[in-house]
């Protein structure tokens, strides 16, 4: 039996992972499930999958979790350190699906005990890509991509030599506002930004799709994961979300990964890697689909893409600043304090503030330094939000 843990088990990726694991209960020994606010779901799945331990990120919910697990034999724990401890329990395969920078420390803890880490939490690579990769290397742990574009690139690279790769193209649906007049974006509401044309995902990543901050993060994630130069990575708007990524080789060939917009494909690929197993995803009927369309991304509509290129250029801890400012600006938008366009403007302000002169971005990459710049960037972003909110 394979020992598996799911960090962020109550979220959209976590639930899709559980869907796959629950279909083959005899194949898996579930070690840890973690969540935050959704105690009912966490306890239900921990009971059903007979997990060793269930952990909520919120200390004040420990009693609720204990009560919900009473008589089940599942251990209950709470708090951020308890999540990292659960991630460090010996397991063969760990799903990293906590949302945000909170996923970094537990992901590192799993790598340190040599687990294969299936990485949905793109923030880990954006904030601390070199640290993630070096930790994996030191502990002979394997990182497998779960973000659909990166899983697609990974699959297109099987058997290929990286030296033959000319470019990597990641696609973007364009999100909720792809076809809106640019001048209307300033007044986009939370509800409008929270609905995705093709994918069913958590609210934060759905809004990040509308602003293209998600794709901006994925540009950085691509650079870190595959070690290519920023100029080798392209974003292509592809409204149907059928082709997830393409790899272009030096002989001019393009290998495209085509599949339905269902995260269980990428999760299942990482779960069964290096083999392929049956997955409960729809089979595409391309004759019925008829046409696939593509267009170049407009950086006026989506300034996040330009900012990601600046972050890649800056290197160091710029990714951690970018992510923290983005997360804080997103909180501000969700709370109704700022408008849709203010998110990119705030991230740009914070990046400018925290660039070279004060040296934050140039500090060595360690978990402590990432936490430090994350904290400072959140403070700057909060200040910027208050200024804009008047």
Q: Which stretch binds ligand NDP (CB under 6 A): 118-126, 168-176, 306-314, 380-388?
A: 118-126
Measured from the CB atom, the residue of 208 and 380 that comes closer to Mg ion is 208
Measured from the CB atom, the residue of 9 and 370 that comes closer to ligand NDP is 9
Tell me how far apart the alpha carbons of residues 320 and 124 are, in angstroms, rounded to a whole number: 9
Among 13, 87, 131, 185, contact with ligand NDP (rule: CB under 6 A): 13
292-351 positions binding ligand NDP, by CB under 6 A: none
Q: What count of other Cβ atoms lies within 10 Å of the Cβ of residue 180?
A: 16
Q: How many residues at the interface with ligand NDP, by CB under 6 A? A: 29
Among 102, 169, 270, 317, contact with ligand NDP (rule: CB under 6 A): 102
Measured from the CB atom, the residue of 239 and 349 that comes closer to ligand NDP is 239
Measured from the CB atom, the residue of 333 and 353 that comes closer to ligand NDP is 333
Measured from the CB atom, the residue of 147 and 327 that comes closer to Mg ion is 147
Tell me how far apart the alpha carbons of residues 238 and 233 are, in angstroms, rounded to a whole number: 16
- CB-hemisphere CA count at 13 Å for 346? 32
Name which of ligand NDP, Mg ion, none residue 98 binds, using a CB cut-off of 5 to 8 Å depending on partner kind: ligand NDP
Among 30, 36, 95, 305, contact with ligand NDP (rule: CB under 6 A): 36
Measured from the CB atom, the residue of 241 and 382 that comes closer to Mg ion is 241
x/- binding map, residues 209-248, to ligand NDP, per CB under 6 A? ----------------------------------------
Rounded least distance, CB 141 to ligand NDP, Å:
19
Name which of Mg ion, ligand NDP, none residue 268 binds, using a CB cut-off of 5 to 8 Å depending on partner kind: none
Measured from the CB atom, the residue of 266 and 324 that comes closer to Mg ion is 266
103 in Cβ contact with 127 (< 8 Å): no
x/- binding map, residues 132-151, to ligand NDP, per CB under 6 A? ---------------x----
- Tokens encoding 187: 């007044």
37 binds ligand NDP (CB under 6 A): yes
Alpha carbon distances (Å) from 146 to 266, 350, 367: 5, 29, 23
8 binds ligand NDP (CB under 6 A): yes
Residues forming contacts to ligand NDP in the complex (CB under 6 A) are 8-14, 35-38, 57, 83, 97-99, 102-103, 120-123, 147, 199, 201-202, 204-205, 263
């Amino acid at each position: 039996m394979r020992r598996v843990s799911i960090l962020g088990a109550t979220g959209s990726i976590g639930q899709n992972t559980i869907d796959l694991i629950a279909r083959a209960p005899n194949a898996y020994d579930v070690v840890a499930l973690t969540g935050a606010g959704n105690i009912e779901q966490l306890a239900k799945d921990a009971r059903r999958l007979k997990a060793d331990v269930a952990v909520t990120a919120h200390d004040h919910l420990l009693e609720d979790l204990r009560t919900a697990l009473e008589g089940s034999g599942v251990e209950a724990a709470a708090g951020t350190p308890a999540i990292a401890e659960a991630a460090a329990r010996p397991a063969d395969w760990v799903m990293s699906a906590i949302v945000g920078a909170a996923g970094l420390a537990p992901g590192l803890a799993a790598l340190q005990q040599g687990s294969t880490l299936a990485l949905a939490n793109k923030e880990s690579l954006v904030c601390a890509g070199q640290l993630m990769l070096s930790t994996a290397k030191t502990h002979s742990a394997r990182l497998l991509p779960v973000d659909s574009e990166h899983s697609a690139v990974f699959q297109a690279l099987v058997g290929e030599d990286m030296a033959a790769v000319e470019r990597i193209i990641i696609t973007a649906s364009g999100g909720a506002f792809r076809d809106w007049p640019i001048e209307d974006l300033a007044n986009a509401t939370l509800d409008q930004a929270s609905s995705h044309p093709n994918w069913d995902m958590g609210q934060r990543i759905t809004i990040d799709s509308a602003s293209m901050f998600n794709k901006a993060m994925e540009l950085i994630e691509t650079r870190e994961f595959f070690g290519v130069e920023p100029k080798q990575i392209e974003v292509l708007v592809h409204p149907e979300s059928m082709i997830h990524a393409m790899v272009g080789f030096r002989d001019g060939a393009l290998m495209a990964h085509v599949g339905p917009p269902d995260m269980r494909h990428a999760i299942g690929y990482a779960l069964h890697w290096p083999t392929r197993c049956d997955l409960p995803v729809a089979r595409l009927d391309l004759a019925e689909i008829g046409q696939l369309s593509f267009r170049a991304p407009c950086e006026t509509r989506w300034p996040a893409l330009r900012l990601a290129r600046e972050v890649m250029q800056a290197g160091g801890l710029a990714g951690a600043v970018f992510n923290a400012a983005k997360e804080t600006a997103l909180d501000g938008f969700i709370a109704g304090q700022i408008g849709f366009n203010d998110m990119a403007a705030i991230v740009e302000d914070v990046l400018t503030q925290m660039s070279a002169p004060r040296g934050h971005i140039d500090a060595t990459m360690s978990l402590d330094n990432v936490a430090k710049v994350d904290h400072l960037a959140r403070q700057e972003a909060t200040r910027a939000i208050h200024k804009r909110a008047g």
